[in-house]
Amino acid sequence: MFAALGRFKIIPILKIKEIETDDALHVAEALFKGGLPVMEMTFRRHSDSKAIREIAREFPDFLIGAGGILNRDQLLRAFDCKAKFATSPGVNPDTIKTAAKKKIAFAPGASTATDIENILINGVVDFQFFPAEASGGVDYLESILEPFEHLPIDIFPKGGISTQNAKDYLELPQVCAVTVEDIIYNDDIENGNWDRITENARRAVAQVHELP
């Protein structure tokens, strides 16, 4: 699954506090039209569960993920709703073990070399660098990855990243894809500006294709 995310290089994130299922479907459709059939949704409320389930049903090829997973029960609920992948802001061994046992595509979060060691000890090679910009950005990530540069790991930076600086992260060899915050805007959802989301997706895809 994470290899599939790597094909797109960028992952739009939907962080609205509460969303109607119909609006979530419109967002997914808009991204599809823009050539970016992938999205991470913050997974906290019942409405998020319903939205993920309906997106998975209406758009079987859409890579819908659940973000902000804090424990094993939340992880299992997300995949019961047919989420294709899940991410966490931190390292919870119980959640990691549950994901491995259930063969769930799950990326825990790391912001230090110690976090990375704890993740690797649990047999995980796909993880987030979170919060990316607040932790020190590309230069900091490059420095903490140096001891692990010989390992086959895939990293997904997230937190404060836009399509403008995503390319800086993608130049690091172990970065697989970057979660960006400037494709889906809450104002566009509230005003039904689906075409704007499509255009943002198209622009982002074009920028990624310019990378060597």
Q: Which domains does the chain possess?
A: 2-209 (3.20.20.70)
Residues 100-140 pLDDT 10s: 999 999 999 999 999 999 999 999 999 999 999 999 999 99
Query: Is a pLDDT exceeding 70 seen at residue 19?
Result: yes
Considering the entire predicted model, what is its pTM? 0.93
Region 9-35 average pLDDT: 95
Angle (nearest 5°) at CA 187 between 185 and 191: 125
